[in-house]
Structure 1
Amino acid sequence: MVKNLLRGSFKLMKSMNRSLILNIIRERGSISRAEIAKLTKLTPPTVSSLVKELLQAEIIIETNLGESSGGRKPTLLTLNSEMFHVIGMDIGSQNIKTILTNINGAILKHSVVPLPAQVTNDTLLSAITDSVRSILEDTEIDEEKVVGIGVGMHGIVDADQGISVFAPNLNLHNIPIKEVLEEQFGMIVKVENDGRAMGLGELWFGNGAGIDSFVCINVGRGIGAGIIMNGRLYHGSHYISGEIGHMVIDIDGPRCTCGNYGCLQTFASGPAIVDRTKKEIRLGQFSLLSELTGGDLESVTGELIYQAAMDGDTLCRGILQRAGRYLGVGLTNLIHTVNPRRIIIGGGVSNAGDLIMDSIVETVSQRALTRPAQETEIILSKFGEDATAMGAVALILAELFTSRNTETASAL
């Protein structure tokens, strides 16, 4: 019964004028009918009629009275956060992060499940469905009010078909994520590359709100980007837009998981930072990590490297700064190609904060062609390691809030 109600609500939301009203309510948090009419340039009777339909469908609710401008205090409208909930997933090469949010993007539940050492298409799909089932069972929210599952997946993703075409860090191909999840749970499923999902999340909820041209960089075990151009997510013609981790920095560099040599992620990703640190210690460089790990270099992690760097470890500080310089080179190339107003950096490596950001900013300021390009704003993601999962949530909300008449093409 609730599912049928929700399906009817989706159709109601998809008309252009209703979508316009809902987006304004979402952005403002609470707003009066008169203010909606002013901002949308729709007539007050039209706004009242559409609002009445949305109230009857329980998509929006009336809330506290607003400030009066001399007459009767206006009743404010806000989204009904109890009506819709969304699951967002970040599928990495080591674990699956799953969050449950309300329609406003507030995280209600959060789980991280490690992947087995050896993964096949079937075992990965099983782990994904188990993660969804687990978070549904571990909540008091009516499952019928969970309207969709968004998935951010590393590597090459066919967003139209919902297929992971190639996940290089897992060495898997053609994983039918959308098909399997829709069959298992009977709800909307959207699948996107993790960097592009992160970009959409920042556009909807984060440090990209109100910015029409920016790039999000997801720096973890790999490096990907989500490119927003003219307020729209850019995919490219063959689903590889944003794969900046495979931008070649040194043609004689280390072999990458993609098969090429000298890719950016072989110098600046999480595993690259760990490998470089262990190599230097084996060559005789002093580091506090020897004490922190009890001499077991195989237990060195990015978190321990950051801890040692914060404790004054010269080697670890130098390696993080070196990774920042390589990222700065990659971002300079990106600035010369896309010329965004802002660059937002998230993912696990971003937790190093100023230890890596200072080197990034300094490198861009030294290498970019013009003074404005050198001063391109580079900031950390609002969501840190949850950036991709929040982007996955935004995939579903974009589907719900965007009318068919205003949806964008997958490639510009």
Structure 2
Amino acid sequence: MKRTGDLQLIKELNKSIILDVIRKNGPISRAEIAKKVNLSPTTVTSAVSDLIRDSLVVEGGTGESSGGRKPILVQLNPDVCFLIGVAIDASKITIAELNLNAKVKRKEVHSLKENIDFDFCNVLIKMIDHFFKKCKNLNNCLGISITIQGIVDSEKGMVAYNPKLKIHNLPLKNAIEDAFNIPTYIDNDTNGSLLAEKGFGNYQQSKNLIYVTIGDGVGASMLVNDSIFRGFHGGAGEFGHTTIDYKGAPCNCGNVGCLENYVSWRAICSRIVSEIEAGNKSLLVEEVHEDLSKITPELFRKAIFAGDVLANTILDDMAFYLGTGLVNLIHLFNPERIILGGELAFENPLLIQKVNEHISRYALQTHSRQLEVFPSSFGNDSEVVGSASLLLHELFHFTLK
């Protein structure tokens, strides 16, 4: 006999699955929901009643009749509540308010100064508190969802290691929950982006998927047979710290010749500045009025499209090294597709094209057949949508083991 706790758990799980079906297919009838999730009409009707009571679902319109009365349709009520997504990288913290469809309603970006020691938790709490002051009703906040670069133990809510922010074993989840008394979720940034693609993006049907982020750092998240591959300590996916040159430059992780030193924005920006200071001409000099510290990924992409020789030479090298690393991932995981996200991949179709060409040339045909690299589904909001997806995955329990 099932214990009461077990039955309640099954009931809540069924509600999450039914809510996800309504999210994806609404307006939809209760009978259609029952067919899709293979549950009894009574179970579905009870769950939908609970969801309507909680205002997560609303009735609206009628469907086609199959002989009796026209069925009343139900759909998600995405703005009944909100959540806060926080995306943290080495140079900035982005905080956004999102609805239940992962739509960004408001967003703030806070820059972080390099090489300055500070109390990270205290700084983040102040930023979130300031953001909350512009929210209409905190009682409608479902939770805070945080993604951060580095090695994260999502179950313990611990940032185990982030060399750029000098973080070791930081209990970030507990610190945020203690400060705001709001449920908080935390995971690696690239895992969040993968969840976003699986739950809300253009690649929801893929069961073997790799998401690669290229920005301040370089990370990867692997979906293997519909499950995120996390590794023993949650550290799987440190793609940027795979070695491609044992005689290469030192990395802040303590190794040498890491991929990150060739394709991250810090590496690209450093090379741009070095080449210009060495006398190479570039449209970027005029764009920043000779203040090279103002060169951004957006200006780099603009120079590429304008045919700037230096920018395109650096792009070629970047695509080669990135493509080489991706070929290794392809041979290890044999994915259906790869998604490139992050500020260097955003609105950069030439990078996507060159990486696809590299894979086509160097990867095993058995692994590269029908494989293609695509851009993120969420453009400039991909980071915070990824953050929000940690919480939304718990709410909707969308198809991910």
The TM-score with structure 2 as length reference comes to: 0.92
2:185 and 2:390 in contact (8 A); partners too: yes
Q: Name whichever of 52-61 and 270-279 sits farther off.
A: 52-61
Distance 2:116 2:156 in 1: 22
Distance 2:217 2:156 in 1: 23
Encode CA deviations 1:204-251: one digit per residue, 9 max, x unaligned. 111231211101111101011121122222211122111101111111
Distance 1:82 1:375 in 2: 39
Provide the residue aligned with 2:123 in structure 1: 127
Distance 1:278 1:82 in 2: 46
- Determine which of 74, 94, 98 is the counterpart of 2:95: 98
Q: 1:329, CA displacement in angstroms? A: 0.7
2:219 and 2:239 in contact (8 A); partners too: yes
Distance 1:372 1:172 in 2: 37
Q: 1:372, CA displacement in angstroms? A: 4.6
1:328 and 1:363 in contact (8 A); partners too: yes
Q: Name whichever of 331-340 and 44-53 sits farther off.
A: 44-53
- Does residue 233 of structure 2 align to residue 238 of structure 1? yes
Q: Unaligned 5+ residue runs, structure 1?
A: 1-10
Report the CA distance shift for 1:258/1:65 in structure 2 as closer, same or farther (over 3 A).
same
Encode CA deviations 1:344-392: one digit per residue, 9 max, x unaligned. 1111001251221122111111110125515412100011242231111
- Determine which of 279, 284, 294 is the counterpart of 1:284: 279
Distance 1:352 1:18 in 2: 38
Report the CA distance shift for 1:378/1:370 in structure 2 as closer, same or farther (over 3 A).
same
Letter in 2 for 1:136: F
- Does residue 335 of structure 2 align to residue 340 of structure 1? yes
Percent sequence identity over aligned pairs: 37
Q: Name whichever of 68-77 and 16-25 sits farther off.
A: 68-77
Provide the residue aligned with 1:253 in structure 2: 248
Provide the residue aligned with 1:46 in structure 2: 43
- Determine which of 26, 42, 54 is the counterpart of 1:57: 54
- Does residue 306 of structure 2 align to residue 318 of structure 1? no
1:350 and 1:380 in contact (8 A); partners too: yes
Encode CA deviations 1:266-318: one digit per residue, 9 max, x unaligned. 00111111111222222222212232233333333322222222222111111
Q: 1:103, CA displacement in angstroms? A: 1.4
Distance 2:332 2:118 in 1: 35
Letter in 2 for 1:264: L
Report the CA distance shift for 1:315/1:397 in structure 2 as closer, same or farther (over 3 A).
same
- Does residue 55 of structure 2 align to residue 73 of structure 1? no
Letter in 1 for 2:301: Y
Report the CA distance shift for 1:345/1:29 in structure 2 as closer, same or farther (over 3 A).
farther
Provide the residue aligned with 2:288 in structure 1: 293
Q: 1:39, CA displacement in angstroms? A: 1.2
- Does residue 372 of structure 2 align to residue 392 of structure 1? no
Encode CA deviations 1:32-59: one digit per residue, 9 max, x unaligned. 1010111122222222222223222323
Provide the residue aligned with 1:147 in structure 2: 142
Report the CA distance shift for 1:304/1:393 in structure 2 as closer, same or farther (over 3 A).
same
2:15 and 2:47 in contact (8 A); partners too: yes
Distance 2:154 2:388 in 1: 15
2:227 and 2:400 in contact (8 A); partners too: no
- Does residue 141 of structure 2 align to residue 137 of structure 1? no
- Determine which of 102, 110, 113 is the counterpart of 2:110: 113
Provide the residue aligned with 1:3 in structure 2: none
- Determine which of 23, 27, 43 is the counterpart of 1:26: 23
Q: 1:162, CA displacement in angstroms? A: 1.1
Distance 1:399 1:14 in 2: 14
1:364 and 1:374 in contact (8 A); partners too: no
Distance 1:146 1:231 in 2: 29
How many pairs are equivalent?
394
Distance 2:131 2:25 in 1: 30
**SS across alignment from 1:239:** coil
Q: Name whichever of 90-99 and 74-83 sits farther off.
A: 74-83
**SS across alignment from 2:192:** helix
- Determine which of 136, 154, 158 is the counterpart of 1:159: 154
> What does 1:300-379 align with in structure 2 at a 5 Å threshold?
300-373=295-368, 375-379=370-374
1:120 and 1:172 in contact (8 A); partners too: no
User: How large is the RMSD of aligned CA atoms in angstroms?
Assistant: 2.1
Distance 1:139 1:165 in 2: 31
**SS across alignment from 2:315:** helix
Q: 1:14, CA displacement in angstroms? A: 6.2
Provide the residue aligned with 1:37 in structure 2: 34
The TM-score with structure 1 as length reference comes to: 0.90
Distance 2:53 2:262 in 1: 55
1:252 and 1:262 in contact (8 A); partners too: yes
Q: Unaligned 5+ residue runs, structure 2?
A: 1-7
Provide the residue aligned with 1:205 in structure 2: 200
Report the CA distance shift for 1:249/1:197 in structure 2 as closer, same or farther (over 3 A).
same
Letter in 2 for 1:245: G
